[in-house]
Structure 1
Amino acid sequence: MENPLLLSPQLNAASKVKSLYKIMKSMNKEGGKPETKSRTQEKSNRLSLLQKPELHPNVDFDKFEKLTKASSVSPKTVKKWGESFDMLISQKAGLDAFTRFLRSEFSEENIEFWMACEDYKKSKDTSQLPQKAKTIYEMFIQKEAPNEVNLDFNTKVCTSQCMSHPTLNTFDAAQTKIYALMEQDCYPRFLKSNLYIDLVHGRPHGCSALRRRSRSFTFNEFKDAQPDFAIWL
């Protein structure tokens, strides 16, 4: 004899719905059957995807956390940074934001060299100039320096010749070149960056770089659902 469920599609569907309802009802009862270790781990993994934001693949998490620290600077002040590059780096908060932006682009050697030159020109003890100049030259200017900046050949030669008798103006030409490079190249990108835009709108630094994973229907959500099965019948 043929199975009557196959002869009656409506009855077959209703039976399946009722069976599903019984399963869901039993899952909602307290003291249910303990879950296996593998299923518990699977649920934990799925929940972690909902709770943790997914970062852009090229963003290092530790550096990103530094970029997302809240700032006390007001949006009004931040907007003034867009008036000129000098306005930006003349303020400590602006210099700090620009430095963090360059670090996110792995080009922080430019601003570090500029700041080293600023510190060098403020030296009061001229006897320390040779050692300070040597440190800056070896760190930023000489060939294959650890943080070598992008200088043209003539500027490098001129700076190198000044190293025999360094003065407070030894790095002026090189510093001017790097300042122009940052002003014309890095500064416009900074003003278009998520970091600057977030600051203008008073949001935490770099929050636009977050790209959250879309929510999916998880086991827990399915278990807690209480659908009206009557609409299926």
Structure 2
Amino acid sequence: MEMSLVLFSQLRMGESKEKTFFKLVHGLGKEEASKEAKIRAKEKRNRLSLLVQKLEFHEETHASRSGNLAKETRISPEEAMIWSESFEKLLCHKDGLKAFTRFLKTEFSEENIEFWIACEDFKKCEDPQKIILKAKAIYERFIQTDAPQEVNLDFHTKEVIAKSITQPTRNSFDAAQSRVYQLMEQDSYTRFLKSDIYLDLIEGRPPRPTNLRRRSRSFTYNEFQDVKSDVAIWL
């Protein structure tokens, strides 16, 4: 009888250990599953957060583009009409300069206005070291043969600049800037006044998509070398 009680007691104890082990394993399993669920939930939240950020960025970009377009359409016809009075008045007006630059891009000749702007910026420089660095950058970008945005200049003007580029002054590009100014005034400016970009502005229409066309190199400085411009060219 005592032997039976001992065996029964051992069986109960064994059963209790198994239950305890089962609960422990089961509990760990639940804990692991809970951790995995939390990780998955965190990943979902992160993905959702990234998605929201992308949507917000897209909306901001779209709003920014719409805002820029709205700014262009806010130019009054009366304001735009002033630009037809002279090329100088066009370039002195911030929106006029933007509109003219956009027009030059349709003709693939935006290097002319970019060179003119670079020269304007260069003449404001006072630091000797910056003058040297900027002069070299302008020369390599716009003046030297096969420059990435080479402007249309006569050989003599290019040669004078090339000789002075090692010791430039703030007036080193004045002659070149003057010639490019004349080319734009006598050639591009007259076409700009007849372009859809300008006509839309003076008639109060929203800007339309512009067609790009290859420019003609038929106009060169030599054709205008005898033309005297009546505009002071910031010399």
With normalisation by structure 1, the TM-score equals: 0.59
Within the candidate set 123, 129, 132, 2:131 is matched to 129
User: 1:142 offset after TM fit, Å?
Assistant: 0.2
Within the candidate set 189, 192, 195, 1:193 is matched to 195
- Give yes or no for the alignment of 1:87 onto 2:89: yes
Tell me how far apart the structure 1 counterparts of residues 102 and 210 of structure 2 sit (CA, whole Å): 15
Tell me how far apart the structure 2 counterparts of residues 193 and 97 of structure 1 sit (CA, whole Å): 11
- Give yes or no for the alignment of 1:69 onto 2:69: yes
CA contact (8 A) 2:132 2:168 kept: yes
Root mean square deviation of aligned Cα? 1.9
Larger radius of gyration: 2
- Give yes or no for the alignment of 1:159 onto 2:180: no
CA contact (8 A) 2:106 2:210 kept: no
Residue aligned with 2:130, SS? helix
What is the one-letter code of the residue matched to 1:105?
Answer: E
Structure (1/2) with the larger helix percentage: 2
Tell me how far apart the structure 2 counterparts of residues 205 and 160 of structure 1 sit (CA, whole Å): 41
User: 1:125 offset after TM fit, Å?
Assistant: 1.3
Q: How does 1:104-183 map to 2 (within 5 A)?
A: 104-183=106-185
Tell me how far apart the structure 2 counterparts of residues 134 and 105 of structure 1 sit (CA, whole Å): 27
User: 1:208 offset after TM fit, Å?
Assistant: 8.2
Within the candidate set 184, 206, 220, 1:204 is matched to 206
Tell me how far apart the structure 1 counterparts of residues 111 and 128 of structure 2 sit (CA, whole Å): 25
CA contact (8 A) 2:152 2:180 kept: yes
Which residue is 1:78 aligned to?
80
Q: CA 1:208/1:148 → structure 2, altered by over 3 Å: closer, same or farther?
A: closer
CA contact (8 A) 1:198 1:207 kept: no
CA contact (8 A) 2:81 2:202 kept: yes
Q: Deviations over 1:64-102 (max 9, x none)?
A: x99x93412111010000000000000100000000000
Q: Deviations over 1:162-184 (max 9, x none)?
A: 11210000000000000000000
Between 1 and 2, higher relative CO (CA 8 Å, sep ≥ 6) is seen in 1
5+ residue gaps in structure 1?
A: 1-64, 210-233
Tell me how far apart the structure 2 counterparts of residues 208 and 99 of structure 1 sit (CA, whole Å): 13
How many residues get paired?
144
Tell me how far apart the structure 2 counterparts of residues 111 and 69 of structure 1 sit (CA, whole Å): 22
Percentage of matched positions with identical amino acids: 55
With normalisation by structure 2, the TM-score equals: 0.59
CA contact (8 A) 1:198 1:208 kept: no
Q: Deviations over 1:116-150 (max 9, x none)?
A: 00000001212211110000000000000000000
5+ residue gaps in structure 2?
A: 1-64, 212-235
Tell me how far apart the structure 2 counterparts of residues 120 and 97 of structure 1 sit (CA, whole Å): 23
